[in-house]
Copies of this chain bind each other. A is one copy, B any other.
Amino acid sequence: MIPRYSRPEMARIWEPENRFRIWFEIEAHACDAQAELGVIPHAAAKAVWERGQFEVARIEEIERETRHDVIAFLTNLAEHVGPEARFVHQGMTSSDVLDTCLAVQLVQTTDLLLAGLDRLLNALETRAKEHQATLCIGRSHGIHAEPTTFGLKLASHHAAFARARKRLVAAREEVGTCAISGAVGTFATIDPYVEEYVAKQMGLTPEPISTQIIPRDRHAAFFTTLGTIASSIENLATEIRHLQRTEVREAEEYFEEGQKGSSAMPHKRNPILSENLTGLARIVRSAVTPALENVTLWHERDISHSSVERVTAPDATIALDFALHRLAGTIEKLLVYPDTMKANLDRLGGLVYSQRVLLALTQAGVAREDAYRLVQRNAMKVWNEGADFLSLLQQDEEVTAALDPDALAACFDPSFHTQHVGTIFARVFKHERV
């Protein structure tokens, strides 16, 4: 992933230093287990831990010759460990190291992603509670429908990201397995105990059955989960973009002092972070189809998945991590304009209370068809002539025959629409995080 969309914490996971560090730990722990089993001398395992070192540059130098990264690593390791190095990697295949390492890396990325989600969840909860009672218009199809609150909007996104978090925890469990099973996964040359031991040390679970490699449906489940989270990001980013558009302007991305929306047009404040998030969501999702195609491998394994993962595993996790923090920051500092929300709510001259009037008339004994007709003929005047809906109703004798002016006015009370906000908030924010 390009630096522009990378946070160093996440990028670091995919750098050679971290990869070789994990390789080292896998090999060293495997030596301990092999020593315990009596397969190799205890002194050898000890030597690996004590003298084991590596240098990225040296490994790369050796790899240019051998064209095999694991051999290059082992060679460099041996330069430090000395003769005992011959006991390292015994009975293992490169895949044992590579796939288990990828599992560790994916678990590490997931921990960062969960932290990003938590920051976002906190931001959404804080801002939702701040605006629990901030009235605004609810819109279906982009058209004013009925009142809601800005807090409810944010709470619905909180619920989406709480679900995302739960899925991500499950996805971490899916990919967090350790396979040390030798050629074609039969354990012919290495005891299953080694796998169990290394798994435990590396914070993974043993892969019940591997075919030299960890099965790729696990990774497909992981990357589709990232893709689904990306879509929830796009959903919230789209909401912000809508709220910021000139004609709506109920909220705005925070605008840094001195920031220029446009060199040519000094009045511009553009929701560029949210637009950027929309694009980042597409990038994260672009890992989904290749991950699904990677599941099908020939017989016990082929290597067609490898190039895909070298590219998409870092790209998707780094982009999603970056997006989560960008979105969290956007929500934390979002400028919210309750006055504009109120003004927009009233923009249709009270029409948004039409259902309420309809119900009141029905409850007052007017037949539903008649009530609909009465409401609609006044609503149409508002729509076409821009009049005030309440005043028109109060002047319509057929209407006032059923409901007196005060009763009519009571229908225009937005608090009717927010009576259950507390209940919904209690549902959404009772969550406990895993």
Most buried by B among A188, A212, A306, A416: A188
B288 touching A311, Cβ below 8 Å: no
Interface-facing stretch out of A18-26, A45-53, A110-118, A419-427: A419-427
Q: Is A433 an interface residue (CB 8 A)?
A: no
Select A302's contact among B208, B241, B423, beta carbons within 8 Å: B241
Segment from A29-37, A152-160, A330-338, A395-403 that makes contact with B: A152-160
Taking a contact as CB atoms under 8 Å apart, the answer to whether A209 and B282 are in contact is no
Given A217-B228, A298-B238, A354-B267: A348 in contact with B246 (beta carbons within 8 A): yes
Q: Does A325 contact B (CB under 8 A)?
A: no
A338-357 at interface with B (beta carbon < 8 Å): 344, 347-348, 351-352, 354-356
Are A266 and B358 neighbours in the complex by a CB distance under 8 Å?
yes
Quickly give the copy total for this chain.
Answer: 4
Cα distance, A368 to B91, chains bound together (Å):
13
In this assembly, does A122 line the interface, its C-beta being within 8 Å of a C-beta of chain B? no
Q: Is A283 an interface residue (CB 8 A)?
A: yes
Contact between B220 and A263, CB atoms less than 8 A apart? no
Q: Which residues of B contact A156 (CB under 8 A)?
A: 185, 209-211, 215
Whether A138 lies near B299 (C-beta < 8 A) is: yes
- Is the CB–CB distance between B355 and A269 below 8 Å? no
> What distance in Å separates the Cβ of A214 from its nearest Cβ neighbour in chain B?
11
Evaluate contact between B289 and A379: CB separation under 8 angstroms.
Answer: no
Name the residue on B nearest A374 (C-beta). Answer: B266
Query: By the criterion CB–CB under 8 Å, are A311 and B283 in contact?
Result: yes
A364 to chain B, nearest CB (A): 14
Check if A55 is an interface residue, CB within 8 A of chain B.
no
A163 contacts chain B at the CB level, 8 A cutoff: yes
Beta-carbon contact of B427 and A208 below 8 Å: yes
By CB atoms of chain B within 10 A, which of A156, A245, A266 has the most? A266
**A292 contacts which of B147, B248, B288 (Cβ < 8 Å)?**
B288
Q: How many residues of A contact B (CB 8 A)?
A: 149
Which residues of chain B have C-beta atoms less than 8 A from A146's C-beta?
183-184, 186, 188, 265
Cβ-based interface call for A290 (8 A) = yes
Given known contacts A142-B298, A292-B288, is B148 in contact with A184 (CB within 8 Å)?
Answer: yes
Q: In whole Å, how far is A215's beta carbon from the nearest beta carbon of chain B?
A: 6
With A67-B259, A211-B156 already in contact, the answer to whether A279 and B308 are too (CB < 8 A) is yes
A244 in contact with B307 given A156-B209, A292-B227 (CB within 8 Å): no
Chain B CB within 10 A, most for which of A264, A359, A417: A264
**Contact across chains for A420 and B143 when beta carbons are under 8 A apart:** no
B242 touches A272 (CB 8 A): no
Asked if residues A372 and B292 are in contact (CB atoms below 8 Å), the reply is no
Within 8 A of B (CB), among A216-235: 217-218, 220-221, 224-225, 227-228, 230-232, 234-235
CB proximity of A301 to chain B, nearest CB, Å: 5
Q: CB-nearest residue of chain B relative to A173? A: B166
Report 17 cross-chain contacts, Cβ distance below 8 Å, ordered by A residue: A2-B311, A5-B311, A137-B246, A140-B184, A140-B301, A148-B186, A152-B186, A153-B211, A156-B215, A159-B209, A187-B424, A220-B228, A266-B372, A279-B306, A283-B312, A286-B287, A289-B289
Binding site for B on A (CB under 8 A): 1-2, 4-5, 66-68, 71, 86, 91, 93-94, 137-148, 152-153, 155-156, 159-160, 163-164, 167, 170, 174, 183-189, 191-192, 206, 208-212, 215, 217-218, 220-221, 224-225, 227-228, 230-232, 234-235, 238-239, 241-242, 244-248, 259-272, 275-276, 278-280, 282-283, 285-290, 292-308, 310-312, 315, 319, 344, 347-348, 351-352, 354-356, 358-359, 368, 372, 375-376, 379, 382-383, 416-421, 423-424, 427-428
